[in-house]
């Protein structure tokens, strides 16, 4: 019999829109207080303002703040938190930190450390999948030196991928199309993997031309229930970083969904997985699928699954961590279609270079079927220390066409000023006839999109933005003048002023 655990206060060891998302789930569960942490750069971040308590953890450099075990566990002890939610990124897939949380007597809202460790090592994961009957991309076995990798490359055939054994997110990954490119790719992949993950181990995989990136959302509880909640299509990528996701996939049919869903469940059960996770596959044009990796955390793109299934995945994470049965233990049905755009502080007209600065205007889109998961507001400073993602814009419709039309409308409504964003990229993507027809793969951006044609057209958008800004400035000036003339009034808003919500316990 599984014992249930009472969770009264959750420490969120992360930042940005996902920290806000977890705070909202805790609020809706009722009775769960939230503790936030923040670096010097995040002192006025939205997740800090929304939390019940907020603790400073120092330098903006992640290894001195959001990646510092000692500081985070000290906050847990001082705040009286009884559970820790890692969100995604930072320490979410760090088995040592998960174990440290458990050893400190806290509830870890995530999978067991052993499952994180097994799936975090890409080579070990390949071996486990092969033993479980889950297809894997042809590639090398663990422990090969560069000489053996060169020999194996000829056997695998070109083009191929050089990949880091630890981590993900495109770090330590190189495409090799001809033998003369291999030595340089091996050396640079070793260096990047060592710098990013403190582990320079690499391996080779066959590159599947024209493949799609399709993943399955998994939920598993402590009572032996393991289910999938359908697939997400994640093929719109740039340098192995996802930019757009949708559920279901326009490529999928019921037979393929059943086979891939069953394989995803086997993959999770092979490592005794518990909590939310995602099994990722590459799918060839002839509908052959291969295990890519398993992300042992909540995914950035989880909202599209939530909208088509009606399941709150973050609430389920907390419910499962408490030892309770998951809500949808009998499986789920998909209703309608959902699409998501990742809104990043990047300049799509300048090779997607990161952009920093203060958000001077933030006009959020609303209306039927539109959801915005955001960590920014007007006056918020975007710094160079962290990932460039500002928000996630999600739209739902009864059909794919309706979802995309709603997304087109929402993108037109969304105004962010003060820095560059990739909103124009998403607008052009939505207008692509090839994309609208669902005919795309992981190379779509490189092969079918060219934003240089839009540089002149951007002038009209800039003029519109300037007009909006001028109107807002005039409005603010009038408001200030009225406030000076009016008698002082008691503030009746529900906003927590800084001096009231911050808990600075140095």
Residue 161 maps to which CATH number? 3.30.1490.20
User: What is the Cα–Cα distance from 435 to 445, expressed in whole angstroms?
Assistant: 10
Residue span of the structural domain in which 168 resides: 138-206
Q: Does 40 lie in the same domain as 104?
A: yes
Q: Does 69 lie in the same domain as 13?
A: yes
Mean pLDDT for the stretch of residues 267-295: 97
Q: Is the pLDDT of residue 499 over 80?
A: no
User: What is the Cα–Cα distance from 170 to 182, expressed in whole angstroms?
Assistant: 17
Going by pLDDT thresholds of 50, 70 and 90, the confidence category of residue 345 is very high
Q: How many residues does the chain have?
A: 506
Whether residue 2 is contained in a domain is answered as no
Q: Which residues contact 69 (CB under 8 A, 6 or more apart)?
A: 91, 96, 97, 100
Whether residue 318 is contained in a domain is answered as no
Mean pLDDT for the stretch of residues 334-349: 97
Tokens 């518990």 locate to 274
Kindly tell me the sign of the dihedral angle through the C-alpha atoms of 442, 448, 452, 454.
negative
Q: Is the pLDDT of residue 102 over 60?
A: yes
| Cα 44–chain centre separation | 22
Q: Is the pLDDT of residue 476 over 70?
A: no
What is the phi/psi pair of residue 312, to 5°? -85, 105
What angle do helix axes 254-270 and 122-131 make, rounded to 10 degrees?
Answer: 110
Q: Does 142 lie in the same domain as 99?
A: no
> Residue 235: its pLDDT value, please?
98
Q: Is the pLDDT of residue 233 over 90?
A: yes
Question: Is the Cβ–Cβ distance between 317 and 86 less than 8 Å?
Answer: no
What is the phi/psi pair of residue 266, to 5°? -60, -40
pLDDT digits (tens, 9 = 90+) for 400-411: 999 999 999 999
Whether residue 295 is contained in a domain is answered as no
User: What is the Cα–Cα distance from 320 to 7, expressed in whole angstroms?
Assistant: 11
Q: Does 101 lie in the same domain as 29?
A: yes
User: What is the Cα–Cα distance from 150 to 41, expressed in whole angstroms?
Assistant: 45
The helix (run of H) or strand (run of E) holding residue 108 is strand 107-108
Average predicted confidence (pLDDT) for the chain: 90
Q: Does 35 lie in the same domain as 76?
A: yes
Q: Where are the beta strands (DSSP E) in 270-356?
A: 275-283, 289-295, 337-344, 346-347, 353-354
Q: Does 150 lie in the same domain as 100?
A: no
Whether residue 160 is contained in a domain is answered as yes
Q: Where are the alpha helices (DSSP H) in 15-112?
A: 16-29, 46-50, 69-79, 95-103
> Residue 478: its pLDDT value, please?
57
Going by pLDDT thresholds of 50, 70 and 90, the confidence category of residue 471 is low
Q: Is the pLDDT of residue 503 over 50?
A: no
CATH no. for residue 104?
3.40.50.20
Dihedral angle, C-alpha 108, 110, 112, 113, nearest 10 °:
-80
| CA separation, residue 23 to residues 204, 327, 366 (Å) | 40, 20, 21
Q: Does 103 lie in the same domain as 142?
A: no
pTM assigned to the model: 0.85
Residues noted as catalytic: 297
Tokens 């503030």 locate to 491
Q: Is the pLDDT of residue 75 over 70?
A: yes
Whether residue 214 is contained in a domain is answered as no
Q: Does 51 lie in the same domain as 88?
A: yes
More confident residue, 46 or 124: 46
Q: Is the pLDDT of residue 496 over 60?
A: no
Per residue, the 3-state secondary structure of 68-95, as one string, reads: CHHHHHHHHHHHCCCEEECCCCCCCCCH
Percent of the chain past pLDDT 90, that is, above it, reads 79
More confident residue, 383 or 458: 383
User: What is the Cα–Cα distance from 168 to 165, expressed in whole angstroms?
Assistant: 9
Q: 319: phi > 0 → left, psi -120 to 50 → alpha, else beta; which?
A: alpha
Of the candidates 148, 181, 206, which is a domain's last residue? 206
Of the candidates 183, 206, 229, which is a domain's last residue? 206
DSSP string, 233-283: EEEEEETTEEEEEEES-TT--HHHHHHHHHHHHHHHHHTT--EEEEEEEEE
pLDDT digits (tens, 9 = 90+) for 361-380: 999 999 999 999 999 999 99
Q: Is the pLDDT of residue 454 over 70?
A: no
Whether residue 16 is contained in a domain is answered as yes
Going by pLDDT thresholds of 50, 70 and 90, the confidence category of residue 122 is confident
Q: Does 148 lie in the same domain as 78?
A: no
Q: Classify residue 206 as exposed, middle or buried by CB count within 10 Å of its CB (0-12, 13-18, 19+).
A: middle
Whether residue 202 is contained in a domain is answered as yes
Mean pLDDT for the stretch of residues 179-186: 94
Whether residue 448 is contained in a domain is answered as no
What is the phi/psi pair of residue 29, to 5°? -75, -20
pLDDT digits (tens, 9 = 90+) for 39-59: 999 999 999 999 999 999 999
Q: Which two tokens stand for residue 166?
A: 């630890």
Question: Is the Cβ–Cβ distance between 213 and 278 less than 8 Å?
Answer: no
Angle (CA) 258 262 266, round 5°: 170
Question: Is the Cβ–Cβ distance between 138 and 206 less than 8 Å?
Answer: yes
Q: Does 82 lie in the same domain as 144?
A: no
Q: Is the pLDDT of residue 450 over 50?
A: yes
Q: Which residues contact 404 (CB under 8 A, 6 or more apart)?
A: 339, 395, 397, 430, 436
Mean pLDDT for the stretch of residues 391-398: 98
What is the phi/psi pair of residue 165, to 5°? -70, -30
| CA separation, residue 480 to residues 471, 474, 477, 483 (Å) | 14, 10, 5, 5
What angle do helix axes 313-321 and 302-309 make, rounded to 10 degrees?
Answer: 90
Task: Please tell me the total count of domains within the chain.
Answer: 2
Q: Is the pLDDT of residue 352 over 60?
A: yes
Of the candidates 91, 109, 127, which is a domain's last residue? 109
Q: Does 144 lie in the same domain as 69?
A: no
Nearest to 396 by CA among 372, 374, 413, 371: 371
> Residue 488: its pLDDT value, please?
44
Q: Is the pLDDT of residue 453 over 70?
A: no
> Residue 483: its pLDDT value, please?
47
């Amino acid at each position: 019999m599984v014992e249930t655990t009472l969770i009264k206060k959750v420490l969120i060891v992360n930042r940005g829109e996902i920290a806000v998302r977890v705070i909202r789930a805790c609020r809706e569960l009722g009775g769960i207080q939230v503790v936030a942490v923040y670096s010097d750069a995040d002192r006025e971040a939205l997740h800090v303002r929304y939390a019940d308590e907020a603790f400073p953890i120092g330098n903006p450099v992640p290894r001195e703040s959001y990646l510092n075990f000692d500081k985070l566990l000290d906050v847990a002890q001082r705040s009286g938190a009884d559970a820790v939610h890692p969100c995604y990124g930072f320490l979410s897939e760090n088995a040592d930190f998960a174990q440290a949380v458990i050893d400190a007597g806290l509830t870890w809202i995530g999978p067991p450390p052993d499952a994180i460790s097994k799936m975090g090592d890409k080579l070990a994961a390949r071996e486990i999948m092969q033993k479980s009957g889950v297809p894997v991309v042809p590639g090398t076995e663990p422990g090969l030196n560069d000489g053996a990798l060169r020999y194996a490359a000829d056997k695998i055939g070109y083009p191929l991928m050089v990949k880091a054994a630890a981590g993900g997110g495109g770090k330590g990954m190189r495409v090799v199309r001809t033998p003369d490119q291999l030595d340089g790719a091996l050396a640079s992949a070793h260096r990047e993997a060592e710098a990013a993950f403190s582990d320079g181990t690499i391996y080779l995989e066959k590159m599947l031309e024209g493949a799609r990136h399709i993943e399955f959302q998994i939920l598993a509880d402590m009572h032996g229930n393991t289910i999938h909640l359908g697939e997400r299509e994640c093929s719109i990528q740039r340098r192995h970083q996802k930019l757009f996701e949708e559920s279901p996939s326009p490529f999928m049919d019921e037979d393929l969904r059943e086979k891939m869903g069953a394989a995803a469940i086997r993959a999770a059960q092979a490592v005794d997985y518990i909590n939310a996770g995602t099994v990722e596959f590459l799918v060839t044009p002839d509908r052959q699928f291969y295990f890519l990796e398993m992300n042992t955390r909540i995914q950035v793109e989880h909202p599209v699954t939530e909208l088509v299934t009606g399941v709150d995945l973050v609430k389920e994470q907390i419910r499962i961590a408490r030892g309770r049965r998951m809500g949808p233990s009998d499986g789920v049905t998909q209703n309608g279609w959902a699409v998501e755009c990742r809104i990043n502080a990047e300049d799509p007209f300048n090779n997607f270079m990161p952009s920093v600065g203060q958000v001077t205007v933030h006009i959020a889109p609303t209306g039927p079927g539109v959801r915005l998961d955001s960590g920014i507001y007007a006056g918020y400073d975007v710094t160079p220390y962290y990932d460039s993602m500002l928000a996630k814009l999600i739209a739902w419709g009864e059909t794919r066409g309706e979802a995309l039309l709603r997304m087109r409308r929402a993108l037109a409504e969304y105004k962010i000023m003060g820095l560059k964003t990739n909103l124009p990229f998403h607008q052009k993507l939505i207008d692509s006839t090839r994309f609208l027809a669902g005919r795309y793969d992981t190379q779509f951006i490189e092969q079918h999109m060219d934003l240089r044609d839009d540089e002149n057209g951007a002038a009209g958008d800039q003029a519109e933005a300037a007009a909006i800004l001028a109107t807002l400035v005039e409005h603010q000036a009038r408001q200030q003048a009225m406030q000076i003339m009016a008698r002082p009034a008691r503030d009746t808003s529900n906003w927590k002023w800084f001096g009231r919500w911050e808990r600075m316990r140095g």
